[in-house]
């Protein structure tokens, strides 16, 4: 199991990079068409054509990245906090948060500088949000989220140990309530006055994501019981996965039709969240070694540094391709592969560079 | 090379990442922030590859991974049983 977690972390960071590369594939097809065809017309993503389906399906699967990171973290914090009293736990936690936050501030600042060069404005209120809520760029929200979960982890771990069903029930309810607010938004529904309290769950990553962290801790504590319980249900697990996958795709189309938008963030739907939960559980119980697993483990071990830097790297890569190799912009699959490759290898090369030379003492402040 | 030296070198070269210049064999790896929790996974992977045996899940506990000494003691016991 332990080894599988490193592999899961590696798969998750590849998916995360892919998920963010899709933005540039859509941009290339919709707005940069003139660079590779003379009569370019934007692709309609709201109708289920082959191109849209490919992006939707792969994007949905790629979205399992953050739930998988949280599951691995929950498991590892279970390991680290086991048999420790609260005081000892916080000694370890403070060190951990220190090495999470410093790279986060460094890369948030570099991202802001990059955006200012691109012409964006950062009034003070926006800057505060950048650092407090992880709004330097899309994926940065993960850092404030994981820091909150780490701070809560000694309590979450004890709750998971003492009251497993109750604790999972609680966090699942929070996830459900936060998802309901997402449906309100998608369907342009204003909640009735008695339901106004739902708004406290709105936009809270802590409420919508803590389930997977707790699931990781529960898996650490009750690993054998969970495996014994799920192992005989392999066929049912696959069947349920297929059902959740198909129904979430149908839901995506229905929501797009109702909402009138071209693209939705599928990760927020309750069916997709259920799909992610079951996918992670299926991997933890039935997962086997895959080819090139050592390379993926290596990527997994360096996932935090890749996570913080890949957005800028793939943006620069996409813009360079626009100027020097526009033909690729129209080849979506190849474009995605190139962006993912660069989004992973360039941060890894930078990490190796800083490890080998005299800047090694700064390594943890740059990459965690 | 002794087990503790192999582990010591791996931790210092691959996992400490510039956080410390030296580590003692009894230093608490996690509590002192010498390695992070992902480092535990890397240690397991390294042990499995280097010493060619699978670390059972039930052995991945804080007691065995607390320090270089604790880990080399655990490993020496395991390797002795294996041979």
User: Tens of pLDDT along A341-360?
Assistant: 999 999 999 998 888 776 66
Reported as a single tens digit per residue, the pLDDT across A15-40 is 999 999 999 988 888 888 777 776 55
pLDDT at residue A9 tops 80: yes
Q: Same domain, yes or no, for A241 and A295?
A: no
Residue A254 lies in a domain: no
| Domain count for chain A | 2
Count of pairs with CB atoms under 8 A, one residue in A, one in B:
78
* DSSP line for chain B: --HHHHHHHHIIIIISTTS-S---TTS-TTTTTSS-HHHHHHHHHHHHHHH-----GGG-SHHHHSSHHHHHHHHHHHHHHH-
Q: Same domain, yes or no, for A50 and A143?
A: no
Q: Same domain, yes or no, for A113 and A150?
A: yes
Show which of A246, A268, A302 is a domain's final residue: A246
Q: Give the mean pLDDT of A162-182.
A: 91
Q: What are phi and psi of A302, to 5 degrees?
A: -110, 20
Q: Same domain, yes or no, for A19 and A136?
A: no
Q: Which percentage of chain A shows pLDDT scores above 70?
A: 90
Domain residue limits at A101: 70-246
pLDDT at residue A214 tops 70: yes
Q: What is the ipTM of this complex?
A: 0.88
Q: Same domain, yes or no, for A112 and A140?
A: yes
pLDDT of residue A203: 66
Q: Same domain, yes or no, for A205 and A299?
A: no
- Window 83-112 of A, Cβ < 8 Å to B: 83-84, 88, 91-92, 95-96, 98-99
Q: Which of A2, A83, A303 sits opposite B44 (nearest CB)?
A: A2
pLDDT of residue A244: 95
Q: Same domain, yes or no, for A149 and A56?
A: no
For residue B45, what is the nearest residue in chain A, using CA coordinates? Answer: A3
Q: Confirm or reject CATH 1.10.1200.10 for domain B3-82, answering yes or no.
A: yes
Reported as a single tens digit per residue, the pLDDT across A115-149 is 999 899 999 999 999 999 999 888 999 999 999 99
Q: Same domain, yes or no, for A58 and A75?
A: no
Residue A283 lies in a domain: no
- Window 13-52 of B, Cβ < 8 Å to A: 17-19, 30-33, 36-38, 40-42, 44-45, 48-49
Q: Same domain, yes or no, for A104 and A211?
A: yes
Q: Same domain, yes or no, for A41 and A87?
A: no
pLDDT of residue A166: 95
Q: Same domain, yes or no, for A95 and A51?
A: no
- Please give the C-alpha separations between residue A110 and each of A106, A118, A151, A297, in angstroms, as whole numbers: 6, 12, 26, 28
Q: Same domain, yes or no, for A110 and A143?
A: yes
């Amino acid at each position: 199991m332990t080894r599988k977690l490193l592999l899961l972390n590696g798969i998750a960071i590849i998916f995360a990079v892919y998920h963010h590369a899709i933005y540039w594939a859509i941009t290339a097809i919709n707005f940069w068409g003139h660079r590779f065809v003379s009569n370019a017309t934007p692709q309609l993503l709201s109708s289920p054509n082959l191109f849209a389906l490919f992006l939707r399906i792969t994007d949905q699967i790629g979205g399992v990245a953050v739930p998988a990171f949280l599951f691995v973290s929950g498991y590892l914090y279970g390991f680290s906090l086991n048999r420790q009293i609260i005081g000892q736990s916080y000694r370890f936690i403070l060190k951990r948060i220190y090495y999470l936050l410093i790279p986060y501030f460094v890369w948030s600042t570099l991202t802001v500088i990059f955006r200012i060069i691109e012409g964006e404005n950062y009034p003070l209120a926006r800057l505060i949000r950048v650092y407090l809520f992880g709004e330097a760029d899309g994926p940065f929200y993960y850092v404030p989220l994981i820091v909150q979960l780490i701070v809560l982890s000694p309590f979450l771990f004890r709750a998971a140990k003492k009251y497993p069903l109750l604790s999972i029930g609680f966090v699942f309810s929070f996830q459900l309530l936060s998802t309901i607010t997402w449906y309100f938004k998608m369907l342009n529904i204003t909640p009735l006055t008695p339901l106004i309290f739902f708004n406290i769950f709105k936009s809270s990553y802590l409420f919508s994501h803590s389930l997977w962290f707790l699931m990781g801790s529960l898996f650490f504590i009750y690993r054998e019981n969970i495996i014994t319980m799920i192992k005989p249900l392999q066929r049912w697990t696959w069947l349920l996965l297929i059902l959740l996958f198909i129904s979430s795709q149908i839901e995506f189309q229905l929501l797009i039709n109702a909402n009138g938008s071209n693209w939705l963030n599928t990760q927020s739907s309750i069916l997709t969240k259920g799909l992610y939960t079951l996918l992670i559980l299926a991997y933890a119980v039935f997962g086997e070694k895959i080819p090139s697993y050592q390379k993926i483990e290596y990527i997994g071990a360096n996932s935090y540094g890749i996570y913080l830097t890949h957005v800028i790297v793939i943006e620069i890569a996409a813009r360079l391709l626009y100027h020097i190799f526009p033909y690729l912009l129209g080849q979506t699959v190849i474009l995605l592969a190139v962006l993912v490759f660069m989004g992973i290898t360039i941060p890894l090369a930078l990490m190796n560079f800083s490890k080998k030379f005299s800047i090694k003492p700064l390594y943890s402040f740059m990459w965690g | 090379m002794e087990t503790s030296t192999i582990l010591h070198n791996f931790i210092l070269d691959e996992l400490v990442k510039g956080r410390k210049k030296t580590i003692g064999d009894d230093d608490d790896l996690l509590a002192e922030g010498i390695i992070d929790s992902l480092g535990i996974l890397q240690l397991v992977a390294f042990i499995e590859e280097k010493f060619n045996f699978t670390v059972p899940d039930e052995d991945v506990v804080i007691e065995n991974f607390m320090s270089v000494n604790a880990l080399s003691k655990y490993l020496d016991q395991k390797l002795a049983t294996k041979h």
